[in-house]
Amino acid sequence: MKNCFITLFFFGIATLIAFWFFHNVPENPANIALVYITALVLVARFTTGYFFGIIGSLIGVVCVNFLFTYPYFALNFSLTNYPVTFLFMLIISITISAMTTQIKTQGKVLLEREKLLMEAEKEKMRANLLRSISHDLRTPLTGIIGNTSAYIDNKDKLSDEEKLDIVTHINEDSNWLLNMVENLLSVTRIDERSMKIAKSEESVEEVVAEAFSRLQKRLPHAQISVKVPEDFLMIPMDAMLIEQVIINLLENAVVHANSKKPIEFTVTENANQVTFQVKDYGIGIAPERLSTIFDGTPYTSEQVSDMHKGIGIGLSICKTIIVAHSGTIHATNHENGCIFTFTLPKEGK
């Protein structure tokens, strides 16, 4: 039914245009044939299979014969070159139909392949996230259990200083778990089926300010220098998720980098995107980790495994959030530390 409507629509429009040419440009009858050939191409493009293209060829030839060839409003199949005209229109129809059918088939294959790749990426991210969660939850929970057991078993023997030390460790591990829960809750804002989020126009300066306000409550002594564009900058984003990304990257830099200078947070823009950069002056990242640091793979080095507690899940969630925003994220080393960079596209880009 849809194909019939498409065929009738295009040839109806073609007939109206042909009548206009017939009455206004009678000295050039080739225009009429070109109009019907155009309609034939469109029918072949927007219908399925070859049948309606062939029917369109017949309709076009009959219309030219019946409406625009003397004697008018009468069929005359004895006209010179009539079979040739029909044959060429038929060849055009079959050729265009074959090409469009092939294009549509290729499009379906590419769409299915894209869906499979998206599903594979989702499964990979889910597996990495679960693996990272199991690794990162174990360390603070073990610490909390060990410290509480030590306090309960030895409360009468511990000095006030030792008790404070145990409670401090419990508090640190509890805050780490709270941060992890916030990260996990942020992922629930992302549509699992499409890996997209609801975006709205947000002020970059306000989002950065809110992220720094939340970070300062956790790390009041963190030294961070900030540089954002002077111009008022609005881009589409989920503000809460981008705040979480900024907090994760800055907290990782403060806690894990051992930066010898204040951490630098910079926002720049170009015609297509806005770039956010966190630069520290610390120990850097092991070269073998640069390609996998956002995959949620736990860091297993015996020397620094405790120091990097929780870094995997935070960066994995950063990647999930930025990918959902159609942005990019990566990490690089420089001679005195490392740089984390993520980009967000501007509206319409």
pLDDT tens sequence across 257-298: 888 899 999 999 998 999 999 999 999 888 888 888 887 665
pLDDT class of 193 with cuts at 50, 70, 90: low
Per residue in 112-137, pLDDT (tens digit) is 888 888 778 777 766 766 766 676 67
Whether the per-residue pLDDT at 94 is higher than 50: the answer is yes
Which percentage of the chain shows pLDDT scores above 90?
24
What is the distance between the alpha carbons of residues 10 and 45, in angstroms, rounded to a whole number?
A: 11
Question: Which of the residue ranges 81-85, 231-235, 306-310 would you say has the lowest mean pLDDT?
Answer: 306-310
pLDDT score of 304 more than 70: no
Q: What is the mean pLDDT of the chain?
A: 82
pLDDT computed for residue 299 by the predictor: 52
pLDDT at position 201: 93
224 in Cβ contact with 262 (< 8 Å): yes
Lowest mean pLDDT among 12-21, 175-184, 194-203: 175-184
Residue 84 has pLDDT above 90, yes or no: no
DSSP 268-336: EE-SSEEEEEEE--SS---GGGTTTTTTTPPP--TTTTTTTTTHHHHHHHHHHHHHHTT-EEEEEEETT
195 or 46, greater pLDDT: 46
Which is more confidently placed, 193 or 248?
248
Torsion over CA: 302, 304, 310, 313 (sign): negative
Give me the architecture of the 116-345 domain, per CATH.
2-Layer Sandwich (3.30)
Q: What pLDDT does 305 receive?
A: 40
Would the pLDDT of 307 be above 50? no
pLDDT category, 73, cuts 50, 70, 90? confident
Mean pLDDT comparison of 89-98, 101-110, 139-148, highest-scoring range: 139-148
Taking residues 299-309, what's their average pLDDT? 44
d(CA 74, CA 69): 9
Which residues have a Cβ under 8 Å from the Cβ of 177 and sit 6 or more positions away? Answer: 137, 140, 141, 144
Q: What is the pLDDT of residue 303?
A: 40
Positions of CATH 3.30.565.10 in the chain: 116-345
pLDDT band per the 50, 70, 90 thresholds, residue 39: confident
